[in-house]
Every structure is written in structure tokens, then in C-alpha cells.
Structure 1
Amino acid sequence: MIKTELLKDHLTLLFVGFNPSPTSARTGWNYSGPNNRFYRILAEAGLTNRLFQPSENRLLFDEYNYGFTNLVARPTPRASDVTTAEYRKGAEQLRQTLLRYQPKFTCFVGKGVYQQFVRKQKIEWGFQSYAIEGIHTAFFVGPGTSGLVRMKLQEQVDIYRILALRMKNAR
């Protein structure tokens, strides 16, 4: 298994997923499933200036200052394969990661990821008012990008465009 986490101090944007897919764990490339729309959504929403391939995720880290982590490190075919205990442990580890690295923006890729982090059921898309003492990041919830998500691509792009615009205005 290859590590998929890319972290450094003061990231512009940290993407948080449920856990790595078997494909991502094998390659080390985040969101690398054949039907995952992550990189297409980033490009169309204006978070990148071109369409990147999963094998180029290191360029997002180096050139855009975008990082990657997951709530749970163990790869599984489906997020539903992760246990409640793993999510609870992962939520605490994520708090420590956010405290340590202090990203400017933190994007949860899927409502379920954020729900597991904050232990709330009712979540809306977009920026969240949730705050953690000592952590100075803007929390954003975007749709999952897996091909299993039953949302139209344009709807996903429109939600992520909100993040892109706020980031652009924050420069």
C-alpha cells in the first residue's frame, strides 16, 4: 500500500475524503478510480487552470499548495466498509492534522465525510460555521466525486465553484 496523504504547513486547500480506494492505495494517486470525476470537477469549477490526471496529484500539492488526506487511512472498495470506531478515531486524528498543518481552506469531499467528522446529520453544501479552537480554516462541504454519486456533473461543478470563488477573493 502506497501512502496517499500529502500534507505540509499552511496549505491553501486540504481535501478530505472518506478513505482511499484500492486503486488510490495501489498507485498513491488520490481520487484515481476510473469513474471518479474529482479532477474534472476541479478544472470546470476553476480550482485548477487545466484538467489534471490522477497521476499528477503531486503537481497540485507542489504548484497549487493543495493537500490530501482521508478520515480513515485504510483502503476499502466502499466507504460503507469503514467501521464507526475507525471513523471516530479518524475524526480525532483529523483534528490533530488540522491543528498541526493549519490549512487556509478544508474541503470535505462528500457530506458523509463531514458528518462523520462533526457527528451531525443535517449538513448543507458549501461553507460551514463549525469551528474548532486553535484551528483557523474555512470548512467547506462539496459533493463526493465518485462515479457512484447520483448528482449531475454540472451541479457538482456549481457547488465547487463557490469554493473556487471564495479562494480567489481571499488572495
Structure 2
Amino acid sequence: MRPVPDILAPGISVVFIGFNPGCRSAETGHHFAGYSNKFWKLLASAGLTPYQLKPEEDSTLLRYGYGITNIVARPSRTAAEITKEEYHIGREQLKEKLLLYKPAIACFAGVGVYREFAKQSGVRCGLQPVGIVEGVIDFVVPSPSGLTRILFQDQLVYYQELARLIQDSSHS
């Protein structure tokens, strides 16, 4: 399985951060490409994109000021296959990317992703009290994976909260 390239550029306002690419993403070369993944539907439903993008359109996120990366680049069937060493290396690489691209908001697509990055337990969805990288706001949304048992409407609440945060941070 091949890695999926980051979608990052200077001036992005939000970077979405996943665990690592799944099998379908590795096959297609596009982020959040799993058939049951709700990422693209959640973005559109929350008004973060004007319509529901297809995974093949992932690079168009840059038009809206968004980017995508992962805490670990190596694709796998499940996040459970990621090793402690891979998380350690990925954590440092992600900090470097956040320092380099300086997005206003780092949006972690899953509590587990943020738990690994921040090395904190008791993480909840929503705005985090303190950002790990200075000058970057940390925000956590539920994982859009089809394996997630959280109802779509309950997930959408956090994507809508993110949309309000983006709006507020662009006006300040």
C-alpha cells in the first residue's frame, strides 16, 4: 500500500488530521476514500464546502483554505496496527508541519488521533483548552470512519461548531 500525499499549503486556515490512510485511500491515493467514511458528507452538511466533494477532489480543499494530513503516513487496515514508534515519529513530524504551515486551526478527525498527538487522556470532542503548537487552535471532531458508532447527526454538531469557529477566527 502506498502513502497518500499530504494536501498542505501556506495560508491554510484549517488542517484536518487523521490517524493514517486506510486501504481504500492507499489504493486511490486520496484521503478519506473508504466507502463508509462520512468525512466529505460531514464537511458539506456543515457548510464547510459548497457541495459534497468526492475523495478524488481532495486537493480542491485548498481552495477553501483547508488541508489534510495524518499523524502516521503508513497506510493500514485499522489504526490499531500503528506502533508506538510510528506515533512517536508521527507526532514530531506533525508538530513540524503545524509550525511550517501555521494553520489557524488543527482539526483532529477523532478523539484517538488527538489523544496520540497530545499524549493526553480524557480527550473530548470540541475546542481544546490549550493548543499543543503555539498559535494553533486544537479542535477535535468525532472520527468520520464507518467503524464509528456515533450517529451522523451527533457527529455533524461538532463539524458545525468547527464552521462557527472558522467564521469567528476569520473575523478576528
Using the size of structure 2 for normalisation, the TM-score is 0.94
SS state at 2:107 partner: strand
Residue 112 of structure 1 is matched in structure 2 by 112
2:87 aligned partner: 87
TM normalised by structure 1 equals 0.94
Q: How many residues align?
A: 169
Please name the residue that 1:154 is paired with. Answer: 153
CA contact (8 A) 1:19 1:72 kept: yes
- Tell me, yes or no, if the aligned pair for 2:44 and 2:52 is still in contact at 8 Å: yes
**Could you tell me how far apart the structure 2 residues matched to 1:130 and 1:117 are?**
13
- Which aligned pairs between 1:68-79 and structure 2 lie closer than 5 A? 68-79=68-79
**Structure 2: unaligned runs, 5 residues or longer:** none
CA contact (8 A) 2:17 2:69 kept: yes
Q: Do the aligned partners of 2:141 and 2:159 also contact (CA within 8 Å) in 1? A: yes
User: How many angstroms apart in 2 are the aligned matches of 1:132 and 1:109?
Assistant: 16
Q: Give the match for residue 143 of structure 1.
A: 142
Identical positions, percent: 38
Query: Shift in Å at residue 2 of structure 1?
Result: 5.0
**Separation in 2, partners of 1:129, 1:121:** 14
Contact 1:36/1:146 (<8 A) preserved:
yes
CA-atom RMSD, angstroms? 1.2
Letter in 2 for 1:154: Q
- 1:45-69 deviation line (CA, Å, top 9, x unaligned): 12112111111111112x1121111
Counterpart of 2:166? 167
Partner of 2:20: 19
- Contact 1:142–1:156 under 8 Å retained in 2: yes
Post-superposition Cα deviations, 1:23-52, rounded to whole Å, max 9, x if no partner, equal 112212100000000000111112112111
Q: Deviation of residue 104 (structure 1)?
A: 1.1
- Residues 3 and 75 of structure 2 are in contact (CA less than 8 Å); yes or no, is this contact kept in structure 1? no
Specify the alignment match of 1:131 in structure 2. Answer: 131
Q: Once structures 1 and 2 are overlaid, which stretch shifts more, 143-152 or 160-169? A: 160-169
How far the C-alpha of 1:71 sits from its partner, in A, is 0.4
